[in-house]
Structure 1
Amino acid sequence: MIQQALKQALQTELHRILHYWTTCLPDEQYGGFYGKVDHYNNVDTLAPKGAVLNARILWTFAAAYNLTGDASLLPLARRAECWFREHLLDTEHGGVYWAADHEGRPLETKKQVYAIAFAIYAYSEYYRATKEEAARAVAIRLYNTLQRYAYDHKLGGYFEAFTREWKPLQDQRLSEKDANEKKTMNTHLHVLEAYANLYTVWPESTLKKNIQDLLQLFRDRIIDRKSGHLHLFFNEQWQVKGRLVSYGHDIEASWLLLEAAQAIHDAELTAYFKAMALKMALATEEGLARDGGLWYEYEPSTQHMVAEKHWWPQAEAIVGFVNAWQLQPSGRFLQRAYDCWTFTEKHLLDRTNGEWYWGIREDGTVMEEDKAGLWKCPYHNARACMEIMKRL
């Protein structure tokens, strides 16, 4: 059976990923985890330590402990939480810093909503692992901070970024490749993901309403109902800016949106996003190559396909296509998931040094990018393994 083979393979792969982050990343000199490991497994001991990386490390070890019960993972989650709390939480102005230096001193103090969302996500998971009220209190405090400073009370949704003191920023971009717009799909998707995880440990009525509002924004503003793809960038008034298609985000959102609707037990939104998950999975198939891998992006205005295959869209495709198969067992989606894993196993797993390569280029050569860094984390691939273990 395909599902048994897939489950077994990803269960094995989860242990491989966790072994890498357990043995290669702990920083014994300055605490926490190293901020950068390059393609060749060379550690940059002086690299900045980003909030996104460290929140995702915290979430991964807590989630893996919650799923497997492996007691050896809990000290690593505690290590991540301790360093995050001491060096990345801004106790004066609220929120989290974007990055600290290698010793833990604040380096980039801007408040990026995306990073704060991952802190909420991580601390909610850590509370589930430890039942420490202080951890849940951090998640709730960060949630209240976002609602106070980042929420657009006039037009809905969340602005992207602020100064440390929550003043407007000229450059709102999450990364250099992003458009400088005040609202983005990506940030809203991960605020939703974070709020849904928080709701599972703190089922508060206002939080539920915030989650419903976010789901309705995806339904009414962010998803292109005709194509099933996501719009990625918006101005303050929710006017769409650009038509770039991100296949990895399409398939990731297909299951995260449904999961959020189910978390709050909203029957109407659950029914809607079950149907939409199938539509978005079908839309994602446009980006599948013959080898089973998922291409990166497509620009309709120039008909240009970025035919690279990065690590994280493959991880999300495996989960998203299994999710679609669970909704429609008679379809081909399970085979899509299995083919994507087969591609990943063949081309992206570093059998020598561990972890996954960043990706491969159109010509099949490996992209020599970080193994760990501000953006390369154990979140997408470890989460894919855990999702498949739970679902199958």
Structure 2
Amino acid sequence: AVHQLLESSFYEAEHRAYADERSADLQTLDPYRGQNANMHLCEAYIAAYRATKDASYFERADSLARRFAGELAEVAGGLIWEHYDANWNPDWQYNIDKPDDLFKPWGFQPGHQNEWAKLLLQLHALKPDSWYVERAKALFDGAIEKGWDQEFGGLVYGFAPTGEFADANKYFWVHAESLAAAYRLFKVTGESRYLDWYRRIWDYSWKNLVDHQYGAWYRVVGRDGSKLSDEKSPMGKVDYHTLGACWDVMDNL
């Protein structure tokens, strides 16, 4: 039923992508288009394929991966931009004054580059294809090159197309997704630099994001690792990213 609703109300076949939002009565389609919903739909279709072995679910996940990590990334210079207009052209101005928005931040997001890298490698594990590996490497390498904070360590939340940090705070989910991607890249490529990054990201997370007294990860810390609040497992995300990252690593031991 969910798949049918997505097909009838959100999937835009001519663009091989899903719209984000309709009105409650399903009559009005919001003009905003974004990569985030499509990334999580790719993830959902991978899970659906694993559970059912229905090839159509794998084909949809593969199509989304090639659309966003391939075609649309090429339009944006090699990395995946967050926001698009109704015709799936990059919207470089959307939320330009909100680089710290929880769900629609402006800027390239290192966490999303690496989350896509992880999904590409999950697809590769199901049906090997060197394209998945090469694009995963390119996304991860780009996220690290532009998003790693050389002064304080850790990955920033976002950076501008020109390279400046857009939001330099450090978010828990960014590091969880990135360490999972790094470990999968190491297992697939055998390149020691990815194991080094896995350890480096884990080290930063262990020292700055994990609450060693009560458990779980702090949602966000300052650029210098300073504690900003006691908030953990925020609504809408809970422990999904951290548990998923641990599963990804353990699944590849």
State how far apart, in whole Å, the 2-side matches of 1:222 and 1:369 are.
Answer: 37
Letter in 2 for 1:188: N
State how far apart, in whole Å, the 1-side matches of 2:83 and 2:76 are.
Answer: 18
State how far apart, in whole Å, the 2-side matches of 1:307 and 1:292 are.
Answer: 11
Among 108, 126, 143, which residue is 1:284 paired with? 143
2:42 matches 1:192: yes
Which stretch of structure 1 is more off in the superposition, 233-242 or 186-195? 233-242
Among 35, 50, 63, which residue is 1:213 paired with? 63
Among 201, 219, 228, which residue is 1:367 paired with? 228
Letter in 2 for 1:336: W
2:192 matches 1:326: no
Task: Give TM-score, length-normalised by structure 2.
Answer: 0.85
Measured at CA, do residues 231 and 257 of structure 1 come closer, stay the same or move farther in structure 2, by a change above 3 Å? same
Letter in 2 for 1:273: Y
Letter in 2 for 1:251: N
State how far apart, in whole Å, the 2-side matches of 1:294 and 1:208 are.
Answer: 31
Q: Which protein has greater RCO, CA pairs closer than 8 Å, 6+ apart?
A: 1
State how far apart, in whole Å, the 2-side matches of 1:321 and 1:225 are.
Answer: 25
Q: Which residue of 2 aligns with 1:110?
A: none
Residues 183 and 195 in structure 2, CA contact (< 8 A), matched pair in contact too:
yes
Measured at CA, do residues 223 and 368 of structure 1 come closer, stay the same or move farther in structure 2, by a change above 3 Å? same
Q: Which residue of 2 aligns with 1:248?
A: 111
Letter in 1 for 2:19: F
Measured at CA, do residues 315 and 222 of structure 1 come closer, stay the same or move farther in structure 2, by a change above 3 Å? same
Residues 157 and 214 in structure 1, CA contact (< 8 A), matched pair in contact too:
yes
Return the offset for 1:230. 0.9
Letter in 1 for 2:119: L
Correspondence list, 1:49-64, <5 A: none
* Unmatched runs of 5 consecutive residues or more in structure 1: 1-140, 171-180
Q: Which residue of 1 aligns with 2:168?
A: 307
Return the offset for 1:262. 4.1
What are the superposed Cα offsets for residues 207-243 of structure 1, whole Å, 9 maximum, x if unpaired?
3432332123124433237854211111121111118
Measured at CA, do residues 212 and 390 of structure 1 come closer, stay the same or move farther in structure 2, by a change above 3 Å? closer
What are the superposed Cα offsets for residues 131-165 of structure 1, whole Å, 9 maximum, x if unpaired?
xxxxxxxxxx2112111111113333111011222
Letter in 1 for 2:109: S
Report SS of the residue matched to 1:355: coil
Identity across the alignment (%): 22
Correspondence list, 1:88-167, <5 A: 141-167=1-27
What is the alpha-carbon root mean square deviation over aligned residues? 2.3
Among 192, 197, 215, which residue is 1:336 paired with? 197
Which stretch of structure 1 is more off in the superposition, 197-206 or 271-280? 197-206
Report SS of the residue matched to 1:332: helix
Measured at CA, do residues 261 and 207 of structure 1 come closer, stay the same or move farther in structure 2, by a change above 3 Å? same
Measured at CA, do residues 324 and 226 of structure 1 come closer, stay the same or move farther in structure 2, by a change above 3 Å? farther
Residues 246 and 298 in structure 1, CA contact (< 8 A), matched pair in contact too:
yes
Report SS of the residue matched to 1:245: coil
2:122 matches 1:259: yes
Return the offset for 1:335. 0.9
* Unmatched runs of 5 consecutive residues or more in structure 2: 93-105
Q: Which residue of 2 aligns with 1:41?
A: none
